[in-house]
Each structure stands twice: as C-alpha cells, then as structure tokens.
Structure 1
Amino acid sequence: MPIVNRFHDLTEEITAWRRDLHENPELLYDTVRTSAVVADKLREFGLDEVATGLGKTGVVGIIKGKGGGAGPVIALRADMDALPILERTNKPYASKTPGVMHACGHDGHTAMLLGAAKYLAETRNFGGTVAVIFQPAEEGGAGAKAMIDDGLLTRFGIERVFGMHNMPGMPVGTFAIRPGPLMASADRLRITIDGLSGHAAKPHLSRDPIVAGAAIITAAQSIVARNADPLEAAVLSITMFHAGTTDNVIPSSAELRGTVRTLLPEMRDLIEARLEAMVAQVGAAYGVEARLDYSRDYPVTANDAAEASFAADIAAKVVGETNVDRNVVPTMGGEDFSFMLNERPGAFIFAGVGEDVANLHNDAYDFNDELIPVGCSYWTTLVETALPRTA
C-alpha cells in the first residue's frame, strides 16, 4: 500500500540505513557498531538528549514536543540484535559476518524508528515528550529487562510503551493486534539424568539414562495432554537429547533440553510444577537421579486493552480500518517487550511485511523495505495522536 507523505521522500534514505545494518549484524549485547550508528544519527537529527549504555549497549533518544516537552512521556521501542544464522539470501547487502544475520527484521525495526525520530525531531508537531528506545539482546538475552534494570522507565519518566514487529505472511499495509495475551511466555528447561554406565550386552548391571530420558520425554507430553486445560494454549517441546559416545557402552549420564510456552501465568505455574514432580518420579522409577533446571525467561506479552484499541485506531488511520485485524490469534513465540508491558501500559502490534517473505529466523529471510513508509507513518501518527499539541 503506497504511503504518500514525508516518508515517501525519506524511504530511499531509510532503506540505505536498513541495508547497512543488515550488512553488519551483531548478536545479543554486542551491538556496539549498531548502537554507535543509532546514537550518531540521533545526534545528527538534533534530538534533545541521546543516552547510551543502558542495558549495556542500549540507546535512548529524547524528543521534546512544542512547549518544551511539558506533559506526558511515551516510548517507542525497536530491537537491534541479529541471530546466529548463516545467511543465504544472496542479496548484494547480505551479511558480511559469517554465521550472523538479521533473520528477524530487527534491522528494519531500527531503521523505521530512526526514520520516525528524524521526522519527529524536524516537525515537533506534538506536545509532551517521546523516548525512542533502541534495545539490544531481544533474541534470548532479555535486553528489555536489562534496560529497565538500568533505570530506563524511571530515568525518563516513561508512562506508556509501544512496540512493533514485522510479520511475514501478512501483506504490506496491514496490521494485527489483540487486547490481552498476544505472545507466549518463553521458558527453558534442562533435565540432567545420572545413571550407571556399563556394557551394552549387560544392561542389567547398569542404570540406563537413555531409557529413563525417553520415558521422561513421553511422560512430559502428557502434562499438556492431560493436565492443561485443553481450551488454554501451552506447548512443551524437548528439542535436545544428548547421551553416549559409542555403540556398545551404556552411558553414565544424559541431558535433555527444551522450551515451555504458555499464554497464562497460571498455566506456566502448572507446567513447571508438574514437570518438576514428573522428572523426579520417573527418574526414581528407572533407578536414576533426574534433576530439572527450569528457567523463566520472557513473560507473556499481554497488551493493555485500552492501549491495544488505541494502537489499532492508529493503524487504521494509516492503512484503513479494513486492513487492521483487531483480534488476531495469539502466537506461541516469545518477545521480551513483555518486560516493558509488565511495568507500563502499552501495546505491541504486528505489521505485515509481505506474503512471499520467508519466515522469521529463516536463512532466506530479508526485511521487505516496502514496509518502511508504513511503519514510520504508524510511529509518527501514534505520537501526534497520543500527544496532541496544546499550543
């Protein structure tokens, strides 16, 4: 969907920023170059304040509206980090760092928020204050929490928070959101099994951790199948099983790893408690010692109902009501913007990046630059609506 406004003229410049970031991806908190590029551009745009080093490598820019910024403070957030994936797009601006690529579109998120910051700093057609947040380590590093722990929300007096993520499979010019849970909590589990090694021909003289591990995997699936309310979403996936070194030795130990994802805190509690009991009891039944280490990583990403409605209204202003899904089906993927939504009212929205774009976290994925004027327009329309000028 064409957007004919200031961003129509800026799209080529913002695209160049995006492709430079794509060429130079960085992981987790190691977004040193990316953070420097962002901070330099924000200073070039004439922001009122540019703060660096929050959450190790996070950057925050402050833009005051008419009246010196008096009034409410809202925040817009983009993530900056890439993924440990070998890129196979064969694009001229493909990653120059082997084994690292922007496979989730964070380069596009960063570029769009930079474009919005440039426009807002030029026009100041709003009251109050906007904080533009550029966050590291979304991909498993909880960078949002690290920035909060460094005083992000209190230092800048942030009252409301908004996030956006591109979504393959949705046409450019469409948005999707819902009140309440939009994305799942994301937890990690590690099960360690200690048995007794021995000869494969004499299993009765051993305590086999592989057989015990297989039993634990099978039993664990019954938690979702038989303990969880079938009307509530939950996923328990064992994704790693490491044991043994050769074909004629029963090993002494095994290790399982996986994830648990839920949309309700009480479901999260249930699965952790049942898994803890099941691991110990199945291990005892097989004569091995089995231990569970359960790590709660990202909470449920839950939109405030009023803010979700507001964000949908903004999207409708940009692309039209028929192009906004206000009650999209939740996804079981995780997102650390959840930490910000736990602290302040706000909303997270999906923006269509194209029906033919490869899936997120795929080595053939590339952000569709046609989304740039749409995403930038969403940000600036949100600011100018949330913070209307009073003079």
Structure 2
Amino acid sequence: MKDILVELRKKLHEYPEESGKEKQTREVLLSFLEKFKPDVLIDPIGETGFAAIFGDNPRKTVLLRAEMDAVSLGIGNTGNSRYSHSCGHDGHMAILAGVAAALHMQRPFDGRVVLLFQPAEETGKGALSILNSSIFNDINPDVVFSLHNLPGWPSTSVIVKPGAFCCASRGIIIELMGSPSHASSPEKGKNPVRALAEIIQKLPSICEKNSFFSMITIVHACMGEPSFGVSPGHAKIMATLRTHADEDMEKLVSEALMCISEICVQQEISCRISWDDVFPALYNDREAARSVAEAASSLGLEVVVPETPFRWSEDFGHFTAKYQGALFCIGAGVHCPELHTPTYVFPDRLIGVGVDLFLSILKENLSF
C-alpha cells in the first residue's frame, strides 16, 4: 500500500491547482477512494471539497482533514500564474487516502470517521467555506485533527502543544493615489514615491515597541509603469501582519492603519486599504493535544513540544475555534528545504508515518 500511496502523491504533485479550483485534484482523489467504499460520500462540500465517512454509529464523530490546494509561485515566463505543491498538501492528501484504505478493512464500531478533503487552505477561505456550508451540520464532529509536515525539525518527530500553536495573520493591500505628470515636470503631479518609501521603512518598525509578539513583512511593492517619460501617480504595497493572539492582531491592525494614515496625510497622498488571506490564531485543545502525543508515543515516535507558537498560519484554526481538536506537525528533516520554496518536495517517507499516526489517534478516540 505504501508504494501505491507514493504513486498517488506523485500524481497529485503533477497537477497543482489554485485555491478554490482544485477540480482535477478532486477527480483524482475520488477515483482513488471509490475502491475503498466509504459508507457516505458528501460531494461537493465547500465547492471543490468533499468528505468520505466510514462507520455509521453517530455516537462520536472524529474528523481528519487534509488540504487540496497548491501554492502560488508568481507569474512564470509564459505570463501565466505558476502553482506548485511546495507546501506538501499532496503528501497530506496521500496520507488521508491511506487512512481510507485502512478504514475499508476495519471500521469503528462505536463512532464515525470523517475524512475531509478541504480546498483553499492557502488563502484562508477553505475552512470557512466548509463550516458555513449547511451540509456540514450533518457531520457536526466531536473532535477534529489535522497534520502538517514541518521542515527544519527531526524527521518523523511529532510536534504538538496545547494552547496557541500557530499565529494569526492577515494580508494588507495599500494603494496610494496621487496624480501622474510628465517626468520633466514632476512638481505638476503627486508622485507617491516618498509615501511608498516611508511606509516600506516605517510599517515593519511599529512592532518594535509592542509588548506582545507582532511582525509585519513587506511582501510586494510597485509603482507606476516602466516609462521614463511619466512621473507616476499610483503605487501599491502588500504586507503580512502576524501575532500570536487574535486580540493582539486587532491592536496591530489599528497601529498599522494609524502609521499609514499619518504618512499619507504628511505626503498629501490618498490611500485605499483592503485585506486578504485572513487567518485566525490556531489554538489546540489540551485533551486533543494529549491524544496526539500519546498516539505518537505508542508508535515510538519522538514527541516535541515547541516553546512558542509557530509564525506561520493555518485556516484549521477556524475548526479548532468551534470544535475540540488539534493541529500537529511531523518533522520533515532538519535539512529539508523550506516550505513555499521551489526546491521543496514532500518527503515520501512521511506518508506511512502519517497514516499510522492518524490511525493511532483514531484508536485513542474510538473503538475498533
């Protein structure tokens, strides 16, 4: 079965798809899973997502989630957007498919297992699309789990902690509107270059005075067009804000808006703000985190408790805000390339570990 799952992972890797448009990914998974005959198949849910249910006893429902979308790597040489499974979602899906194969052989007799294949994790919109779906009321899980591979940590180690596990984050889009002019007469227009430069310099520095963890990363900036004859009148800056707690995010947002406003007023430039990729902080339930740690220990896997929440974000936080549950990580190796980089490829040796770990967690919560 391991070789079959590796082949599935490689097939999914060949067809990376944009968040919310995982149509081919969905078809590959449905074709693979049909041979394992789930008791119920909810398709679709959250547009391109679906859920396979094993077991028919509603006494207790345990949900396991995997993400379906790929990472955007920007615009390629052909002018089209490039996507890649450089976050390991192809491996996560293969792991959940392996759980389906095991449940086909042995279902729980005192509960149900829901295998949820979720779209659009990378944009922070996928979990909400599932939770806001009326059909999800029929699932109504008692406890929820998800995993993520994690480069930079010992291979096959299990990283989990109760409480805050991942940061809240949100993307800010700052549009600066002045007025263009001929490049020979910049004084006749309003060039936003000074406002652009000040925001790039000052916005990240507002975090220095905060007593709570906060971080602002400039991720994109552009101004005008590549023309030597025009002094531009428009610029755009994109940045990502991060905090450990949701309440701290509200404070950071307020500070960021104040900083931007002061600069724009001083430079006499108009400003328009919008937000995207909004993720809540992810909190693990203490009992669910304990369940993960005990399952890992029973398999002889090293359990690591991180001292602080991770800086990255995960929309599984929407699930753990509503249901008892936990997100945990499996170490991908100390020297594994970082996530969201072109050189990253999911380590196939983690597939069997992930399947065994999920099955052990299920046995911690249900009887087979």
Query: For structure 1, which runs of at least 5 residues remain unmatched after alignment?
Result: 1-9, 87-96
Find the counterpart in structure 1 of residue 115 from structure 2: 132
Find the counterpart in structure 2 of residue 44 from structure 1: 35
- Count of matched residue positions in the alignment of Structure 1 and Structure 2: 362
- Cα offsets for 1:231-262 (capped at 9, x unmatched): x3211122222112334543212111111111
2:15 paired with 1:34: no
Q: CA deviation at 1:118?
A: 1.1
Q: Distance in 1 between matches of 2:151 and 2:334?
A: 6
Find the counterpart in structure 1 of residue 9 from structure 2: 18
Q: CA deviation at 1:141?
A: 5.1
2:339 paired with 1:348: no
Find the counterpart in structure 2 of residue 169 from structure 1: 152
Q: Distance in 1 between matches of 2:34 and 2:139?
A: 17
C-alpha contact 1:31 1:136 (8 A) present in aligned 2: yes
Q: CA deviation at 1:357?
A: 2.2
Q: Distance in 2 between matches of 1:12 and 1:328?
A: 36
Cα distance, 1:141–1:302 mapped onto 2, change above 3 Å: closer
- Cα offsets for 1:336-369 (capped at 9, x unmatched): 1111112111000000122332211111111111
Percent of matched pairs sharing the same residue: 28
Cα distance, 1:190–1:99 mapped onto 2, change above 3 Å: closer
2:222 paired with 1:242: yes
2:213 paired with 1:233: yes
Cα distance, 1:328–1:132 mapped onto 2, change above 3 Å: farther
**Residue 378 of structure 1 is aligned with which of 342, 346, 357?**
357
SS in 2 for 1:99: strand
Cα distance, 1:156–1:253 mapped onto 2, change above 3 Å: same
C-alpha contact 1:179 1:327 (8 A) present in aligned 2: no
TM-score of the pair, normalised by structure 2: 0.92
Find the counterpart in structure 2 of residue 6 from structure 1: none
Q: CA deviation at 1:129?
A: 0.7
Find the counterpart in structure 2 of residue 73 from structure 1: 61
- Cα offsets for 1:254-277 (capped at 9, x unmatched): 111111111111211111112222
C-alpha contact 1:28 1:141 (8 A) present in aligned 2: no
Find the counterpart in structure 2 of residue 58 from structure 1: 49
Query: For structure 2, which runs of at least 5 residues remain unmatched after alignment?
Result: 75-79
Q: CA deviation at 1:328?
A: 4.7
Which range moves more in the overlay, 167-176 or 54-63?
A: 167-176
Find the counterpart in structure 2 of residue 334 from structure 1: 313
Q: Distance in 2 between matches of 1:375 and 1:353?
A: 11
C-alpha contact 2:51 2:117 (8 A) present in aligned 1: yes
Cα distance, 1:305–1:45 mapped onto 2, change above 3 Å: same
Q: Distance in 2 between matches of 1:22 and 1:296?
A: 23
Find the counterpart in structure 1 of residue 338 from structure 2: 359
Cα distance, 1:317–1:223 mapped onto 2, change above 3 Å: same
Q: Distance in 2 between matches of 1:381 and 1:80?
A: 23
Cα distance, 1:221–1:369 mapped onto 2, change above 3 Å: closer
Counterpart residue identity of residue 71, structure 2: L
Q: Distance in 1 between matches of 2:81 and 2:278?
A: 28
Find the counterpart in structure 1 of residue 77 from structure 2: none
Find the counterpart in structure 1 of residue 249 from structure 2: 268
C-alpha contact 2:22 2:68 (8 A) present in aligned 1: yes
Cα distance, 1:248–1:36 mapped onto 2, change above 3 Å: closer
TM-score of the pair, normalised by structure 1: 0.87
SS in 2 for 1:100: strand
Counterpart residue identity of residue 242, structure 1: C
Find the counterpart in structure 2 of residue 194 from structure 1: 177
Which protein has the bigger strand share?
2
C-alpha contact 1:159 1:344 (8 A) present in aligned 2: yes
